[in-house]
Structure 1
Amino acid sequence: MSTLTTAPDTAPARWGPAPLVLDGTSLDTRTVGDVARAAGPPDLVIDDAARRRVGLASALAADLSTRRVVYGRTTGVGANRVEPADDLTGHGLRLLRSHAGGTGNRLDTAHVRATMLVRLNQLLTGHSGVSPVVADALAEALRAGALPVVHRLGAIGTGDLAPLAQIALALAGEGAWEGPAPRPVPVDGGDALAFLSSNAATLADAAIAANRLDVILAASHVVAALSYLALQGSPEAYAEPVHRARPHPGQVRCAERMRDLLGMRDTPAKGRRIQDPFGLRAFPQVNGPAMDALDYLHRVLDIEMNAGSENPLISVEHGDAYHHAHFHTAYVATALDQTRAGVHQVAELSAARLGDLVEPDQSGLRAFLADGPTGSSGVMILEYVSHDALAALRQAALPATLGTAVVSRGLEDHASFSTQAARATSDVADAYTRVLACELVAAVRAMRMRGDDPSHLPLAPAFRRADAVLDRRTDDRPLADDLTAAAALIVDPCWSQV
């Protein structure tokens, strides 16, 4: 089998026009998101030093297995750790076959590609002991766009055993592929657990969700700023002296972003009210924790994707193997739970601003922004849609870390459920998009009815795009198409980059 192209020992490049250089130390969540979203497979290059690490660790692990007991190599796994693996030749394949029990829906292309990328980068840290041939095969499959068939269910935050077993079996020629299958490679007794011992599928899912929330939270500033204009908000709540007095990082950034969008560099005119409702007034204080939580999630994922997490950990430096618990992802689970909780708080403010937009005392316009005969409903239905989505978001925001599990005959007596936390974070991103879409439709409609012209403000390009895609008719009519168009803007990274 051909080996992967290597590059000199240079600083790795970010994903873009140049090849993506993997070295086991510098992959980040945003690069994973870029690769997952790309129309085609990545142009991968492996750093030479990383390749050497893989080979040295593999040789050391093989040598150690001839001299001492090494979990998963000379023994069974889980509660079978005390059982010797007598038939070392077939031990690896038996382990993969027994653990490839994933079920449920198939993972989509983005998630499978991201999982393969994360797992490959982790292998390049040189702590797994996996054969360089297996690492090369994974890299070649990625570059060729060959995707194993992987199912959703089969992990609880203590190693993505089922999905990774399906990938490894496909590499060995026994699993299914989406499209043409690459040439199979041998998987020996030491490769199986070395490949499985990772949470790469969960990390990939979490990275994709984190990237989505980056875009959606950025859009939330634009939507809130449009509501501010429609409601003639008070600028004092975003003033720099206010936030300098209690300088939480996310809060300060949020207030600064609102000032930027609304052109508040000079002392702006006062609003209609001495104090706005919380939806406007407390936006930095509520959005800030969500931003900080998302930043922390990125930091946790960046560490995990460049970590030697395999058990046992093969240390070439110390010439030994160490048995440990890096497979446990409490950091990932708690960071995901915190992020979802923060987003839920911000989504509640969006629903509150929508309530202000349809209230004449706040907007100065007709109830429900109606513009027809007496009794017209206008955008009344948007509140119902928003709170439906908010209820779904609230359910998805419940902490996954409140659960645990005892498996493998009691030996593995705790689980983080980071896998479920990552899935729930994707659900939160979906629901928050729908909540914001309701607010955006109402805010643009209110600005049109007021005759507001934001062309002199930095957020003018965002308003123009929304104005162009949202139906201008104000008679009572179905709003489903408007919500679809609004949601498309919210998830478009270009829309909020004004």
Structure 2
Amino acid sequence: MSEVVLDGVELTAEQVRSVARGKLPVRVHPDGLLRANAAHQTVTALSAAGQVYGRTTGVGANRLVSVAYESTSGPVVLGPEGSVIPPDAVPAEPVRHAAHGLRLLRSHAGGAGPLLDPVSVRAMLTVRLNQLAAGGSGVSPHLLEGLAEALNRGLTPPVHAFGGIGTGDLPALAVTALCLLGEVPWRGGTMDPIPFDPADALSFISSNAGSIGEAALACADLSELLRASTVITALAFLAGDGNSEPYEAVVHLARPHAGQQTVAARLRDLLAGQPVKAARIQDPYSYRAVPQVHGPALDAVVALERTLGIELNSASENPLVDAVGNRVLHNANFHTAYLGLALDTMRNALYGTAALSVARLSLLLEPAFTGLAPFLASGPPGSSGLMILEYVAHSALGALRLSAMPTSLATAVVSRGVEEHAPFSSQAARNSLDAAGDYRIVLAAELVAAVRALRMRGTTPVDGPLADAFAYAAERLPDRLDDRPLDQDVEDAAALLPGLAEF
């Protein structure tokens, strides 16, 4: 994949991650520019003739206050392949500073707290650009090309962490608009200001693109980590002489939850033909209940992917411009209750499967379970081996426990009581992205212990995907057994997780 084409229809969480973290270039599909232009022409005509929220009125509690409609945009001409041809003449007089749209942008660019990582901001820009390509916002196609240029130049606006509550990432997108206008400097470089009609102000910023972008990053990361976790579980199972009876197909046909069956089938595939000794008639839960605990996490990430498939490719605009019906519809599609609940469910399910990972790590350090030295140590009596990894994993699990708190239990009443509900999906997305990082540490600690235990036992998986996964990890993780700092081991193991997800 050399570029990501944004058409407002088929964007995925993985593609958002490829642009945001992998820095793939983007291109707006001509159909997206045509849809944006049709909505722009429609809303420009309707605003000149009647009331349109945010264009001829104030916003929030000021929705009943009429303001002068001052559009400075001339007709937008689309050239070959839908490219935007700038107007022949720019208005000789600059837009008055009193223009409602400019005041709206300046007053709403009021985020606070630390600046977000550029990766999260690039995810936001990617999502907003794709939403605009879906049509329905009414903004000029110039803005789509401006966002694409900023992404391809590696530029990001200075977005602060606090400001969104799940009903619109207004501060983040307002400061983005001011960067496009040239009033606020970009981070990472410069570009010429683009034509920005102040009448487009609300239409540009009325979006949850920041929350959706971070949710997409979290979803792509967690989907990958959950696949890697099943492989690591199989390695730990082999190191602990687990009993594979709980993974038999008949067990899961007796209670056929989708994720549960998927996990059990994957473990059967990985363990097929392996020298499993089944040292116990019944294993601890961290081995025996993997399908029942890991399965819900798989189901949750599938549900999150489905929700994001809609959110990423929707014109969730207020008002929504219906170019076909030649009207604008005032609505609440900006409300992200679906996304917030999907993220909350994901984090709760993730905590359960992470807790099993930490429990398996503890079993790998227990001589009664592996027949090896305590803490997988090698050296004089009292050597600590991997003792500290148990603390590290529990520390990360503690952070996961905190992030699992449902954000959808909160709400807010703002704007003089007119906007009296909020899902706080912005916080849910941020918590989910943090949770992915914490889960990565938990899995890395288990991987270090599983590989070390297999080495110390002299056990090598037989040919197959598990053997390939073990070779991939063992070739890249240190084989030293002496007591030493283990931070680099964990960091190295964390870097292997994307690769393990592919076995």
How far apart in 1 are the matches of 2:146 and 2:201? 14
Deviations 1:137-188 (A, max 9, x none): 2223223333333222211111010000011111111121124422212322
2:148 maps to which of 120, 125, 139: 139
Q: In structure 2, what residue type is equivalent to 1:37?
A: R
* CA deviation after TM superposition for structure 1 residue 24, in Å: 1.1
Which of these residues, 478, 485, 500, is aligned with residue 495 of structure 1? Answer: 500
Listed as ranges, the matches of 1:273-352 within 5 Å are 273-352=280-359
Instruction: State the percentage of identical aligned residues.
Output: 52
Output aligned runs, 1:42-121, within 5 Å: 42-44=25-27, 46-86=28-68, 88=70, 90-121=99-130
Partners of 2:467 and 2:408 lie apart in 1 by 42
1:374 maps to which residue?
381
SS in 1 for 2:328: strand
Offset from partner CA, 1:20-53 (integer Å, 9 cap, x none)? 3222111111111111122x45141x33332222
475 and 133 in structure 1: CA distance in 2 versus 1, 3 angstrom threshold: closer
What secondary structure sits across from 2:37 in the alignment?
helix
* Residue type at the aligned position of 1:51: L
**Secondary structure, in 3 states, of the residue corresponding to 1:252?**
helix
- The size of the alignment, in residue pairs, is 476
2:200 matched to 1:216?
no
- Match for residue 237 of structure 2? 228
| Aligned equivalents of 1:224, 1:374: Cα separation in 2 | 29
User: C-alpha displacement at 1:270, in angstroms?
Assistant: 5.4
TM superposition shift of 1:336: 0.5
Whether the aligned pair in 2 keeps the contact of 1:41 and 1:144 (CA below 8 Å) is no
Q: Gaps (5+ residues) in structure 1? A: 1-15
Alignment of 1:71-470 (within 5 A): 71-86=53-68, 88=70, 90-263=99-272, 271-470=278-477
Between the aligned partners of 2:150 and 2:24, the Cα distance in structure 1 is 9
Which string of whole-angstrom CA distances, capped at 9 and with x for unpartnered residues, describes residues 49-101 of structure 1?
32222111111111111222111010000111111113636111111111111
**In structure 1, C-alpha distance between the alignment counterparts of 2:286 and 2:456, rounded to whole Å:** 21
Shift in Å, 1:406: 1.0
Q: Secondary structure at the match of 2:161?
A: strand
Query: Offset at 1:455?
Result: 4.0
Shift of 1:121: 1.0
Q: Quick one: distance in 1 between partners of 2:481 and 2:29?
A: 59
Scaled by the length of structure 2, the TM-score of the pair is 0.91
Deviation, 1:113, is 2.0
CA distance in 1 between counterparts of 2:29 and 2:11 reads: 12
- Tell me the SS of whatever aligns to 1:494: helix
Following the alignment from structure 1 to structure 2, what is the Cα–Cα distance between the partners of residues 87 and 67?
10
Write the distance in 2 (CA, Å) between the matches of 1:381 and 1:201.
37
What's the C-alpha RMSD, in Å, of the aligned pairs? 1.8
SS in 1 for 2:500: coil
Aligned to 1:33: 17
1:381 Cα offset (Å): 1.8
One-letter code aligned to 2:140: S
The code of the aligned residue for 1:69 comes to Q
Partner of 1:30, secondary structure, is helix
- 3-state SS of paired residue (1:251): helix
Once the two structures are overlaid, the 10-residue window that deviates more, 307-316 or 444-453, is 444-453
Shift of 1:427: 1.3
Secondary structure, aligned partner of 1:123: helix
Cα pair distance change 1:239/1:128, threshold 3 Å = same
1:482 has 2:492 as partner: no
**For the Cα contact (< 8 Å) 1:92–1:187, is it kept in 2?**
no
Whole-Å Cα distance in 1 between the matches of residues 296 and 102 of structure 2? 47
Tell me whether 147-156 or 68-77 shows the greater mean CA deviation: 147-156
Report SS of the residue matched to 2:483: coil
Greater shift in the superposed pair: 354-363 or 328-337: 354-363
Q: CA deviation at 1:456?
A: 2.5
Distance 1:23 1:457, change over 3 A: closer
Counterparts of 2:389 and 2:34, CA distance in 1: 58
SS at 1:246 equivalent? coil
The 3 A distance-change label for structure 1 pair 324 and 264 is farther
Corresponding residue number in structure 1 for 2:7: 23
Q: 1:20 to 1:255 in 2, by over 3 A?
A: same
| Match of residue 83 from structure 2 | none
Q: Distance in 2 between matches of 1:378 and 1:136?
A: 56
Is 2:60–2:415's contact at 8 Å kept on the other side of the alignment?
A: yes
Deviates more, 1:130-139 or 1:256-265: 256-265
Residues 41 and 142 in structure 1, CA contact (< 8 A), matched pair in contact too: no
CA separation in 1, counterparts of 2:449 and 2:189?
49
- Whether contact under 8 Å (1:33, 1:211) holds in the other structure is yes
Distance 2:464 2:30 in 1: 50
Q: SS at 2:184's partner residue?
A: coil
